[in-house]
Structure 1
Amino acid sequence: MNKSKFDARSISIIGLLMALEIILTRFVSIETPIVRIGFGFLPVAIIAMLYGPWIAGVAAAITDFMGIILFPKTALFFPGFTLSAFLGGVIYGLVLYKKPKTLGRVILAVVLVAVIVNLGLNTWWLTILLDKAAYVIFPARVIQNLVLAPINVALLYFVLQNKTLRKATGIQ
């Protein structure tokens, strides 16, 4: 697949993956005010692997905004979380785009997103929104990320090794 141009196929794949991200995040996740357990990262990581960090970042930011506007659950729109979504897509792209899809790279991508975005920025945004000290919400977020990181690594690595998906999307 020629990734340097946007053809109808590329735009369709990105659009479908963005729709899947919204569904997985808004409807197939467990959400509390300080913790969200879900699998919306998978479509963003696939976009990052196929089209690079900037397209993945923009797609993640757009899906964050669209998800909040179309399906507001417990959250209101906050631009900090949109920035976090953008950075998560960029991180996946920087680590996985046009690089070998090894277990080590998958671990690196998941850990970087967990530490920088989930534990760092998102905790900061929650302290602003909830008017609570970081030390109050940080322990629950650490536990969440310690539990989810191995699951996220396994899921993402499994997706990368799936021959049908690799053939359909052109993942190298």
Structure 2
Amino acid sequence: MHDKTRNILFVGLFVALEIILTRFTSVETLTVRISFEFIAVALSAILFGPVTAGTAAAAADILGMIIFPKGPYFPGFTLSAFVSGILYGLILYKKRITLVRTFFSALAVIVITGLIMNTVWLFYLYGNAAYAGLASRLVKCTVFLPIQTVMIYFTWKYSGALISRTINQRQSF
């Protein structure tokens, strides 16, 4: 299989994984979503870089809304997904994956997309009513920072070599 075809295949698998983790294994309220889609975004960023991870995250957001809608589509959240992939990629791509590095990648994503960008989108959509959910969003982000850090680190530590080997495997016929 050609390298580009293989990469497209695996990026597609990460998009599908992100959709599943977002749409089927998450708990969602009006202002807070607790899910593990960050694992798929972070792994695609580690393996394929910031632009590919950002594009995959945005594609997963759009496809998830088309296939499994949960309310009206708003492009601001797609932009947040894209920026999340970019941030993970800038911090993790082609670098040694350590707890400190995964902490800073999770911190950047949580602060920039979770607290700043998504809060702006919620204020745009709901006006001053978004203040009601701000405290719960702050608590969620504070609690999720160590969870994201540990989950990304250990997922990569225990499956990264296998995933990398599978993606980079050359088949001879």
What TM-score do the two structures reach when normalised by structure 2?
0.90
- Match of 1:62, as an amino acid? A
Shift of 1:139: 1.2
Q: What runs of 5+ residues in structure 1 fail to find an aligned partner?
A: none
1:169 and 2:164 aligned = yes
Structure 2 match to 1:19:
16
How do 1:1-172 and structure 2 match up within 5 A? 6-73=3-70, 75-132=71-128, 135-162=131-158, 164-170=159-165
CA contact (8 A) 1:123 1:137 kept: no
Q: CA RMSD in A?
A: 1.6
Q: Report SS of the residue matched to 2:45.
A: helix
What TM-score do the two structures reach when normalised by structure 1?
0.90
**Number of equivalences:** 165
For 1:27 and 1:6, how far apart are their aligned partners in 2? 31
- Match of 1:168, as an amino acid? I
Identity over aligned pairs, percent: 47
For 1:147 and 1:18, how far apart are their aligned partners in 2? 25
Q: Report SS of the residue matched to 1:8.
A: helix
> What are the superposed Cα offsets for residues 23-49 of structure 1, whole Å, 9 maximum, x if unpaired?
000010000010000001111111100
**Which is richer in helix?**
2
Moved more, 147-156 or 101-110: 147-156
Moved more, 7-16 or 53-62: 7-16
CA contact (8 A) 2:58 2:79 kept: yes
